Chain A
């Protein structure tokens, strides 16, 4: 047991990767292929609805070559956060694509499926027993927040994946999963240093995002040795340098000197990054500090209503000057108009003013006066019909709203489209983003097997 090599084809299944890169990576005789298939990055909608944020055709395009390559040489393929957010619905959507691709291409393997949806009762009990704490700035969790949550997933670490691999799984499809678990499970199972394995996994999980030119859409080859690991892009047009690999530790992390996984705190403060002459970098000096208690990160979502929007340009200078007055008067007129149908606290109306303060809102400090504003009006209401009605009324009111010194008496807004309003559908919010202390991890992440 000298080293173990894995291939990370891309940062996310469905982001694409060159097939030539996979081919070169496979020539290095890897021990397994790992790939992440989900994230909370695109927001709460995807866990809330169980829908995929990657198109099924693109998912299949990325998945099939990995399945074929791994079956051809008989190495495990490990897929984490399958289908987008790891809920049972996401997982089943993913399995449909996987099984259809396998059938059409006559591929056979032992499949392990690890589910990660957690019963709300388990979380209620943990809350009562004071085993829940906030994660980041999510604040304290309440029983009512759990009740209004539609589904909760737990982020698994390496243990359930190791359990699947120990029982001979060729393909592991995991629900919500720490990105590091995908790539460090097999190395840890084979006895490699967990600190090196977890750090290698952290660097490797985004494909070549740790290289230059950076990209989540290309393949990284990573080899873990006893006291170091080595990363190199499969594509000869990309290189890793000590700076790009070290800088990747900053990405999306609150603290560049360490990160936390279920296996413990991974301390990077004494890490050493050395370049070789073949576009690769070797990393040494990572340390692992075991945790005091075992925790699982929970993610849950609650439905907050339905969205409708309209988009319009404002070009008139007096209109731009009076935008605050217009907004206040439109809000008031709309409220008076709809109050027999819906109470003021049952809907929300938002004016996003691109060109003025659309991105930063009240925090915008620039006092530059724009010559035009892109106005996005959003209504969120308890039903799609109500949201449509409110945004429609707001649009027509705003179009004809009077203001001091008005010259544009035929209309204030330039609509690029007919119809001018759009349905945004369900609006979700992360209602649970907390750590739960647990004794028995295995029961949370059940593994099932099937011969395909």
Chain B
């Protein structure tokens, strides 16, 4: 199942003009813990997907809100708004991570659940 179907919220945004941050938010604690335990969600995987160096990728869990934050250099190699940029605010850079397949047998997030959390 894709990460997109497992997370209640998956969003990206600039953290300053040179850094991108991707947030994954979960409603269900067991799902959150299970995803954290999967080795595939690693700096190495993220680095391959976004063509950046693994040592520049950090992955932080945030237990109190069942969230995982992934931070990396802006993947298009251009700072926000510079020649070559395709996404000034960085708000559509959650792919290709969102397409990452995690081989879990969990139900997809129902849409009502998604609506409850998407207002963050």
Contacts and interface: CB of A to CB of B under 8 A. Distances in A.
B71 A252 contact: no
Interface string B67-96: 101010111101111111111110011011
A194 B51 CA distance: 40
B19 A136 contact: yes
A196 to B, nearest CB: 18
For the residues of A in contact with B, the DSSP-based class is loop
Contact of A213 (B81, B85, B86, B119): B119
Contact of B96 (A358, A363, A429, A433): A363
B49 interface: yes
Contacts of A363: 49-51, 75-76, 95-96
Interface in A399-451: 427-430, 433
A58 B45 CA distance: 45
15 contacts: A40-B80, A45-B81, A136-B18, A136-B19, A137-B56, A213-B119, A244-B120, A246-B65, A251-B13, A352-B86, A363-B51, A364-B95, A428-B81, A429-B82, A433-B17
Interface residues of B, number: 45
Nearest to A41: B89
B64 interface: yes
B108 interface: no
A255 B58 contact: yes
Nearest to A253: B15
Chain A interface size band reads 35 or more
B83 A361 contact: no
A99 interface: no
A247 interface: yes
Contacts of B64: 246, 271, 273
A348 interface: yes
A250 interface: yes
Contacts of A430: 17-18, 79-82
Given A137-B73, A359-B86, A433-B16, A253 B81 contact: no
B99 interface: yes
A247 B86 contact: no
Given A247-B120, A363-B96, A44 B82 contact: yes
Given A252-B14, A428-B81, A360 B95 contact: yes
A430 B120 CA distance: 29
B83 A433 contact: no
